Amino acid sequence: MSILIKNGQIVTASESYIADVYIEAEKIIAIGKDLDYQADKIIDATDKLVFPGGIDPHVHLDMPFMGTYSSDDYETGTRAALHGGTTMVIDFILQTQGDTLHNALKTWQQKSHGKAIGDYSYHMAVTDFNDDVAKEVVAMIEEEGISSFKTFMAYKGALMIDDGQMVQLMKVVKKHGGLVTVHATNGDMIDSLIAKNRALGNLSPLYHYLSQPEVTEAEASARFADMLNYTGCPGYIVHMTCEGALNAVRKATQRNQKVFVETCTQYLMLDASLYENDFEGAKWVMSPPLREKKDQAALWSGINQGLVQVVGTDHCPFMWEQKKMGKDDFSKIPNGHPAIEHRMELLFSEGVHKGKISLTKYVEVSSTNAAKIFGMYPRKGTIAIGSDADIVIFDPKKEHTISVETHHMNCDYSAYEGQKVTGKTETVILRGQVAIENEECLLNAGHGQFIPRGKTSKTVI
């Protein structure tokens, strides 16, 4: 199959120009003005933007969590992602405490193989570190193409590791060229605030928010940065929400330290007032919780200051019936919300259309930086000769409204119901095949490939 995309405005992390793109088999073969190729399919992209396929490095598909499973699996989740222009996701394998990383890898391979429609990779969450696990960490990097290791400073008894384990893990990961990522909140502080609120009978979703104040995230982010500095390991803070945590990273830059930061669409666009609507607030119960308007402003400027490199989603949907597990107790509401589908469109509308970020910055944070940080650039994350032909053709003027009635995620509510958006994903190409056209997904389960990743470096950006 060959495709010629004519006259689009190609946008990469560094340039924006009008040209044609010729694709053959899975790769980009040529880029230039008035390309003269015979192609099986010609797409007229006049007045359209042509982006590299989006990469969402923070999703939870079919994940066991808080007594249930996230409601999108690899098929429904990657299909919804493609509809929105995200051609690749990185999901989290969770090690079961007391069990091996290899067993966890097998479980996630069974979830994904033959099911994924879009491309995917895995981060390995290390929830129980010891000498045997250290050997497995090396095998993950050297043999399995998994070079990023997720840690939790919260969720004690299920996922959390202590600081001693963290430092030992960082030493091994640094030695073998990997990266440690973190859910950076102070688990002990949060657990004590949850216990206090429950004892006082404060049980509505609002108390989920009040049990995780900004300081719990700022403190853990600073501690993580200090441990990275001590070990020399490259590190990445996932789903950062607030000014205090960002300032901890800003402070680390004063000793010339680079700590990569990801925020998510919801922390840029939604705020904690949503928790005031009684149990309705359960739709946005996630950890860390939504914050304040001043935090949104800090995160947008953090993107432009180069302190925040990636915008993901932390997509972790639950059906309303699942959310109701916490009807009488906020601490039993499964944490997470549906988001994988609209990241590219929301970020364009709120970021580029409203003038907060440039087009090239948009591509950087929605695709290129994730590819660089997680060891798959330039195969993924750019429009260049030889790269995978993962391409989004985007109409920057088209207006539409987000709704559960039209979304493709396996979730019976939308976190953005009724929100008007300017800019729409029109055609999506994944490794040289048209994946989305006329709002239909043309690829089947099993089309998605596992993308093995290379080593990372402290200075990718």
Query: Residue 72 interacts with Zn ion (CB under 5 A)?
Result: no
d(CA 11, CA 383) in angstroms, rounded, equals 8
Query: Residue 343 interacts with ligand URP (CB under 6 A)?
Result: no
d(CA 55, CA 91) in angstroms, rounded, equals 11
Residues within window 56-75 making contact with ligand URP, judged by CB under 6 A:
60
Residue 185 beta carbon to ligand URP: minimum distance, rounded to whole angstroms: 9
Residues within window 301-360 making contact with Zn ion, judged by CB under 5 A:
314
CB 383 within 8 A of CB 13: no
- The one-character DSSP state at 315 is B
Q: Which is nearer to ligand URP, 5 or 411 (CB)?
A: 411
Taking the CA atoms of the chain, what radius of gyration do you get in angstroms?
A: 21
Residue 285 beta carbon to ligand URP: minimum distance, rounded to whole angstroms: 7
Query: Residue 186 interacts with ligand URP (CB under 6 A)?
Result: no
Q: Which is nearer to ligand URP, 138 or 158 (CB)?
A: 158
Could you tell me which of 219, 216, 134 has the C-alpha nearest to residue 178? 134
Query: Residue 336 interacts with ligand URP (CB under 6 A)?
Result: yes
Tell me which stretch binds Zn ion (CB under 5 A): 129-137, 175-183, 321-329, 400-408: 175-183
Tokens matching residue 87:
């051609």
Could you tell me which of 323, 352, 355, 338 has the C-alpha nearest to residue 402? 338
Q: Which is nearer to Zn ion, 20 or 314 (CB)?
A: 314
Query: Residue 287 interacts with ligand URP (CB under 6 A)?
Result: yes
Q: Which is nearer to ligand URP, 10 or 146 (CB)?
A: 146
79, 183, 323, 379: which one contacts Zn ion (CB under 5 A)? Answer: 183
Q: Which is nearer to Zn ion, 159 or 359 (CB)?
A: 159
- For residue 450, count CB atoms less than 10 angstroms from its CB and return exposed for 0-12, middle for 13-18, buried for 19 or more: middle
Tokens matching residue 269:
């666009």
Residue 335: which of ligand URP, Zn ion, none does it interact with, CB under 5 to 8 A by kind? Answer: ligand URP
Q: Which is nearer to ligand URP, 73 or 314 (CB)?
A: 314
The CA-to-CA distance between both ends of the chain, in Å, stands at 34
Residue 209 beta carbon to ligand URP: minimum distance, rounded to whole angstroms: 12
Query: Residue 419 interacts with ligand URP (CB under 6 A)?
Result: no
CB 54 within 8 A of CB 16: no
CB atoms within 10 A of CB 188: 12
Q: Which is nearer to ligand URP, 333 or 421 (CB)?
A: 333
d(CA 204, CA 219) in angstroms, rounded, equals 26
Residue 187: which of ligand URP, Zn ion, none does it interact with, CB under 5 to 8 A by kind? Answer: none
Residue 303: which of Zn ion, ligand URP, none does it interact with, CB under 5 to 8 A by kind? Answer: none
Query: Residue 216 interacts with ligand URP (CB under 6 A)?
Result: no
Query: Residue 150 interacts with Zn ion (CB under 5 A)?
Result: no
CB nearest Zn ion: which residue? Answer: 183
Residue 126 beta carbon to ligand URP: minimum distance, rounded to whole angstroms: 15
Could you tell me which of 365, 442, 336 has the C-alpha nearest to residue 118? 442
Q: Which is nearer to Zn ion, 22 or 108 (CB)?
A: 108
146, 270, 316, 340: which one contacts ligand URP (CB under 6 A)? Answer: 316
- For residue 332, count CB atoms less than 10 angstroms from its CB and return exposed for 0-12, middle for 13-18, buried for 19 or more: middle
Write the DSSP assignment of 78-105 as a string of letters. Answer: HHHHHHHTEEEEEEEEEPPTTS-HHHHH
Q: Which is nearer to ligand URP, 223 or 400 (CB)?
A: 223
How far CA 184 is from CA of 237, 242, 288, in Å, comes to: 7, 12, 9
Interface contacts to Zn ion, rule CB under 5 A: 183, 314
Interface contacts to ligand URP, rule CB under 6 A: 60, 183, 286-287, 314, 316, 335-336
